[in-house]
Amino acid sequence: MKVNDVATYEVEGAVAVVTLNSPPVNALSAAVRQGIAGGLKMALEDDAVRAMLLICEGRTFFAGADITEFGKPPVEPVLRDVQLMLENATKPVIAAIHGTALGGGLEIALTAHYRIAVPSAKCGLPEVNLGLLPGAGGTQRLPRIVGIAKALDLITSGKPVSAKAAKKMGLVDELATEGNLRADALTFANRVIDENRPLLKVRDRTDKLSEARGKPDIFADFRKAHARKFRGYKAPESIIRCIEATLEKPFDEGLAFEATLFRELQAGSQSAAQRHIFFAERQAAKIDGIPADTPILPIRKVGVIGAGTMGGGIAMSFANAGIPVTLVDSSEDALFRGLRVIRGNYEATARKGRMKAEDVDARMGILTGSVSMEDLSDCDLIIEAVFELMEIKKEVFAKLDGIAKPDAILATNTSYLDIDEIGSATSRPASVIGLHFFSPAHIMKLLEIVRGKNTRADIIATSMKLAKTLGKVGVLVGNAYGFVGNRILAARDAQANRLILEGATPEAVDKVLYDFGFPMGHFQMRDLAGLDVGWNREKSSSSTVREILNEMGRHGQKTVGGFYDYDENRNRTPSPVAQKVIEDFAAKQGIAHREIGEAEIRDRILYAMVNEGAKLLDEGIASRASDIDVVWVTGYGWPQYEGGPMFWADLQGLPQVLEKLKSLQDEYSDAFAPSPLIERLVSEGKGFRDA
Ligand code: 3H9
């Protein structure tokens, strides 16, 4: 029988089964909440019913509150009312979980009296990733089941646990057979009835809380251990305070406290920024002109050319996803070194307990080394990651053209170069695409996918799908020097370099970026990447500070220094040597030295980046402002809670951004001449979000 459009009610013996089906992820929208409440009411009023099963159809149990409802007027019943009804039901309620019980979804399950899950299910409270805390009792109920220490970890990390782990912690009571959830849950419900089991309420449990009362430092220690990870974010501290409240306040007061802190976070700009990124990442997968049903080519075997840092990391990304990969390098030495580094990386991961020891061999087992490109003839995808020089890339592609099978995808990992020119070295430019991974490639989430003017639609669609298979976020960009990410980086670089010549120190510039929320400053990042990346000793002519530092053998962290000095443990200190180079160079250029404040550094760097982003949008190199945000948040360390450069600009207000750019142009340089797109949007009363 229908409860409403998304819920059905059936009775099987003494058990009422309330089934929710609201694709794609059964988010707890008003209709879903009404469906649960309606089904429960029917079960309570039905004398033949002695227990109720709450189960979902489709790919998952409830994946959380419906984020699209945030900011809209609340519709009854709100989630907490539904939870109260479930928890106070006079007949046992059993939640049957498959897929992902996340956020409000898990919080609903925590108000059921019992929980059963299939082994493949995952349970978690990922609200922190949206700049929120679990606002439907999660911070009060979870610690009562799993204890304070585990709850702190689970809720501040947002990471889900497997059903097996959940069973171990008591978060689920029973594991069902895979694919047999409904039947097993019915059997379990009948057992609950037959054994007359009590109406267990998580809220009433105190045993796990008592354990923590003997450890007064638990919260202070946790804060200290995670200070670096939580830096700048508001949600983790609010979560910790709520969990502290479980020890300090009675349950209902703890719940009220949680609701207050949830509302504060929900109304704040950090959560707005993080929710923006959540939807922006998903939006990035949708591409105009490439319909969702575009054929996807099978990627069963991959070749990677170049066993250096990038090639090795790319090969690991595929091995991690279970896709066999052949790593090729022309030098045997380089190949063995590359393979050794990969094994070393896996072993270190296993030692840290982040991977099973037996998986090291399994991953290495699907990774083959070769010194011959001929061995790539049966690969579905070949990615070139050799030296960043056009002549070399073209040579590799011309050779590949004669080796690769006709339907193979030929990809380049170039960070700057022209995809069309690289493709022109082959007889099949339509099969050529840019797959720009970020270092370390097996960890960084971003994959810039660069379409050439001829790249075929199915090759683009396959590459976008591939990003997801690798656990990455794919962003499709146009073919321009530096694409999206590095072109904006170049705008930042230009300002940072100019600022140090005018009198700001590299440390001062870096401090401003670090304080804004970047994990490291600009010059720190340059030193880490290596100042010699892309530097050519023969062509070096002392024409920039960077060239001079390179000529002095200062290539960054891996040497004695770059913009900073480093000791043998790579500890960083300001460098008098680099500072002298900067000052001498500025004097030679006739640039006067002056005091530069933090506000000027911040404005010049951030507004230059926003302006470059606007130009990329105007030129069609980026198709959406939100794509630029995804690139900078997932690939370049722009703080997630600031939402990316374009979101940040919208938050300042585009008219203010325009004014600021004009005044920066007047005061410093024409590099700040506002992009025509900004002028246009302001005149139309729009923001980047409408571009
Ligand atoms: C919360 O619960 C607060 C409470 O504590 C307190 C409340 C008082 N709402 O990711 P996918 C959409 S906060 C609305 O591509 P997958 C998504 O936009 C919430 N929509 O699929 C996409 O739409 P489209 C806590 C949502 O299989 C489509 O579903 N929960 C929501 O790769 C498919 O998504 C979370 O943070 C939502 N909650 O991954 C979980 N979730 O097709 C967030 C998804 O138009 N969700 N959509 O692009 C996820 O982590 C993943 O979506 C999930 C599926 C793992 C579930």
ipTM of the complex, rounded to two decimals: 0.98
Residue nearest to atom 53 of ligand 1 (CA): 63
Has residue 276 got a pLDDT over 90?
Answer: yes
CB of 130 sitting under 6 A from ligand 1: yes
Provide CATH 3.90.226.10 ranges for the chain: 2-266
- Catalytic residues, by residue number, are 107, 127
* CA 138 to ligand 1: nearest atom: 5
In the structure, what pLDDT confidence band is assigned to residue 329 with cuts at 50, 70 and 90? very high
Has residue 514 got a pLDDT over 90?
Answer: yes
Mean pLDDT score across all residues of the chain: 97
What ranges in 268-356 are assigned the alpha helix state H? 269-283, 309-320, 332-351
Has residue 535 got a pLDDT over 90?
Answer: no
- Between 279 and 387, the higher pLDDT residue: 279
| 505-588: CATH, from 3.50.50.60, 3.40.50.10420, 1.10.1040.50, 3.40.1190.20 | 1.10.1040.50
- What backbone phi and psi angles, to 5 degrees, belong to 434? -95, 130
pLDDT of amino acid 216: 80
pLDDT of amino acid 71: 87
- Cα 558 to ligand 1 centroid, rounded to whole Å: 42
pLDDT of amino acid 557: 93
C-alpha to C-alpha distance for 163 and 155, rounded to whole angstroms: 16
C-alpha to C-alpha distance for 439 and 385, rounded to whole angstroms: 12
pLDDT of amino acid 675: 98
Note the pLDDT tens digit of each residue in 348-378: 999 999 999 999 999 999 999 999 999 999 9
Q: What percent of the chain has a predicted confidence (pLDDT) above 70?
A: 100
Q: Residue 4: exposed, middle, or buried by beta-carbon count in 10 A (0-12, 13-18, 19+)?
A: middle
In the structure, what pLDDT confidence band is assigned to residue 211 with cuts at 50, 70 and 90? confident
415 Cβ contact list (under 8 Å, min separation 6): 388, 436, 482, 483, 486
Contact 390, 422 (CB under 8 A): yes
- Cα 659 to ligand 1 centroid, rounded to whole Å: 38
Q: Summarize the confidence of residues 218-232 as an average pLDDT.
A: 97
Has residue 112 got a pLDDT over 90?
Answer: yes
* CA 126 to ligand 1: nearest atom: 36
Provide CATH 3.40.50.720 ranges for the chain: 302-480
Provide CATH 1.10.1040.50 ranges for the chain: 505-588
| H or E element in which residue 461 lies | helix 457-469
pLDDT of amino acid 492: 98
Q: Summarize the confidence of residues 469-485 as an average pLDDT.
A: 97
Domain 302-480 in this protein, CATH class: alpha beta
pLDDT of amino acid 405: 98
pLDDT of amino acid 292: 87
In the structure, what pLDDT confidence band is assigned to residue 332 with cuts at 50, 70 and 90? very high
Name the residue of 20, 22, 25 to mutate for ligand 1: max ligand atoms within 8 A of Cβ: 25
DSSP assigned state of 559? S
CB of 521 sitting under 6 A from ligand 1: no
Q: Summarize the confidence of residues 44-55 as an average pLDDT.
A: 98
DSSP assignment of 210-251 equals HHHHT-TTHHHHHHHHTHHHHTT-SHHHHHHHHHHHHHHS-H
In the structure, what pLDDT confidence band is assigned to residue 212 with cuts at 50, 70 and 90? confident
Q: Summarize the confidence of residues 315-340 as an average pLDDT.
A: 97
**May I ask the CATH architecture of the domain 2-266?**
Alpha-Beta Complex (3.90)
How do 114-117 and 174-175 pair as beta strands?
parallel
Note the pLDDT tens digit of each residue in 6-44: 999 999 999 999 999 999 999 999 999 999 999 999 999
- What backbone phi and psi angles, to 5 degrees, belong to 251? -50, -50
DSSP assigned state of 688? G
C-alpha to C-alpha distance for 119 and 114, rounded to whole angstroms: 16
In the structure, what pLDDT confidence band is assigned to residue 158 with cuts at 50, 70 and 90? very high
C-alpha to C-alpha distance for 416 and 485, rounded to whole angstroms: 10
CB of 64 sitting under 6 A from ligand 1: yes
The per-residue b/e assignment along 301-313, b for 16 or more CB within 10 angstroms, e otherwise, is: bbbbbbbeebbbb
Has residue 214 got a pLDDT over 90?
Answer: no
Whole-prediction pTM? 0.95
C-alpha to C-alpha distance for 438 and 433, rounded to whole angstroms: 16
Poorest-pLDDT segment among 111-125, 283-297, 610-624 = 283-297
Has residue 213 got a pLDDT over 90?
Answer: no
Residue nearest to atom 1 of ligand 1 (CA): 65
CB of 104 sitting under 6 A from ligand 1: yes
Q: Summarize the confidence of residues 539-544 as an average pLDDT.
A: 94
Contacts 24+ apart (CB under 8 A), 334-343: 334/307, 334/308, 335/307, 335/369, 335/370, 335/371, 336/369, 337/307, 338/307, 338/308, 338/311, 338/312, 338/369, 339/307, 339/364, 339/367, 339/369, 341/309, 341/312, 342/312, 342/315, 342/316, 342/367
